[in-house]
């Protein structure tokens, strides 16, 4: 496995070098490094850890486009998650686990993408939550259940019509039965952006690996900017019978842009269990960010998560699992201190 990844990386870098020499603006290498220290109390014991991807998912990637004339472009993205605390891949079974797609786009027609793609729910979560849908402070992130990425996906992203955009995704199954097969997916997104106002509604349905159940999730919400404040409101539902998931989540949060370099976010989220088990939960979070530069940010997050009955929610990050509870129904408290660097 190590030899395989070494060969892949050498090949990718070689291709990047060739493309860069031929057309310097055609291909871009980019990435994010997010490293944090955390202390959490999850019931009968407390845990300290150093980990990655608290506020942003650590990654590296390649992206590029080619102008084909007449406003038509060919585009691609190859993106892999990484763990800078250990120097490992986030997913050792994939070379590019986050994104791997190619597309054709035209300003007045839209974009058609093919490949492994990130769900529109993931991008929307960051727009309807003051914590960008990440860090342990985000109750919306802690309580949400949806499929972040899908394989074998065809997507159409519409052009902007007076502030309105639409997206449709179809993910073909992995058992040779197309849309009727295991892991098949269906997604749709509708957004409206007008100055300080952002509104969105997203629907996602993803079949499980055995083709015996479907996870159905929704996001509806938005944000509104006024003076130095941004107010957010979000609604989320998730239903998966095989895991007794039938949940409704409401989140309200606000971000104060105290200066061009600092921001403070506060939020409250309530998760209602509609399965009849009474596994409700609530979360209060706070996040402080300080920008050292355009590329480097320090952050501090804190959260208190109150689980009821046998609820088993944990304090999760952008791309890192929360520390397990001592037992179902225990509360979780945690503090994160982290640094993010973009390149």
Count of domains forming the chain = 1
Q: Is 17 a member of any domain?
A: no
**Structural domain boundaries, residue 192:** 2-12+35-342
Q: Is 283 a member of any domain?
A: yes
pLDDT the model gives residue 21: 38
Alpha carbon distance 31, 77 (integer Å): 12
On the question of pLDDT at 161 being above 90, the answer is yes
Q: Is 255 a member of any domain?
A: yes
In which band, very low, low, confident or very high, does the pLDDT at 152 lie, cut at 50, 70 and 90?
very high
Residues in the chain: 343
- Interval 196-223 mean pLDDT: 96
Q: Average per-residue pLDDT in the chain?
A: 92
Q: Is 299 a member of any domain?
A: yes
Q: Is 28 a member of any domain?
A: no
The runs of H, that is alpha helices, within the chain are 2-22, 120-125, 139-143
Q: Is 254 a member of any domain?
A: yes
pLDDT in tens, 87-114: 999 999 999 999 999 999 999 999 999 9
On the question of pLDDT at 10 being above 60, the answer is no
Answer whether 0.75 is exceeded by the pTM.
yes
pLDDT in tens, 171-187: 998 876 777 889 999 99
Confirm if 143 and 271 have CB atoms less than 8 A apart. Answer: yes
Residues 6+ away with beta carbon under 8 Å from 46: 39, 40
pLDDT in tens, 25-64: 589 999 999 999 999 999 888 999 999 999 999 999 999 9
Q: Is 19 a member of any domain?
A: no
DSSP state of 136: T
Q: Is 79 a member of any domain?
A: yes
The domain that holds 81 is classified in CATH as 2.40.160.10
């Amino acid at each position: 496995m190590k030899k395989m990844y070494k060969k892949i990386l050498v090949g990718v870098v070689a291709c990047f070098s060739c493309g860069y020499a031929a057309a310097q603006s055609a291909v871009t290498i980019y990435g994010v490094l997010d490293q944090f220290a955390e202390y959490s109390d999850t019931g009968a014991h407390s845990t300290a850890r150093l980990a990655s991807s608290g506020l942003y998912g650590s990654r590296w990637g390649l992206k590029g486009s080619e102008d084909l004339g007449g406003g038509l472009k060919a585009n691609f993205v190859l993106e892999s998650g990484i763990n800078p605390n250990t120097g490992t891949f986030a997913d050792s079974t994939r070379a590019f686990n986050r994104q791997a797609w190619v597309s054709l786009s035209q300003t007045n027609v839209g974009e058609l993408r093919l490949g492994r793609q990130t769900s529109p729910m993931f991008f929307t979560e960051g727009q309807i939550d003051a914590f960008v849908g990440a860090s342990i402070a985000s109750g919306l992130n802690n309580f949400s259940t949806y499929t972040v990425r899908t394989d074998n996906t065809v997507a159409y992203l519409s052009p902007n019509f007076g502030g309105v955009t639409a997206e449709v995704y179809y993910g073909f199954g992995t058992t040779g039965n197309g849309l009727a097969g295991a892991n098949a997916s269906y997604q749709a997104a509708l957004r409206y952006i007008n100055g300080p106002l952002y509104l969105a509604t997203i629907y996602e349905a993803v079949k499980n690996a055995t083709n015996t159940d479907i996870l159905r999730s929704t996001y509806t919400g938005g944000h509104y900017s006024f003076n130095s404040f941004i107010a957010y409101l979000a609604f989320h539902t998730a239903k998966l019978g095989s895991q007794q998931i039938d949940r409704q989540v409401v989140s309200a949060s606000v971000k104060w842009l105290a200066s061009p370099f600092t921001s403070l976010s506060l939020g409250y989220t309530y998760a209602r269990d509609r399965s009849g088990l009474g596994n409700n939960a609530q979360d209060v979070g706070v996040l402080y960010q300080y920008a050292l530069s355009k590329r480097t940010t320090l952050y501090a997050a804190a959260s208190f998560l109150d689980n009821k009955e046998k609820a088993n929610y944990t304090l999760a990050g952008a791309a890192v699992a929360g520390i397990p509870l001592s037992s179902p129904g225990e509360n979780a408290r945690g503090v994160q201190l982290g640094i993010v660097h973009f390149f």
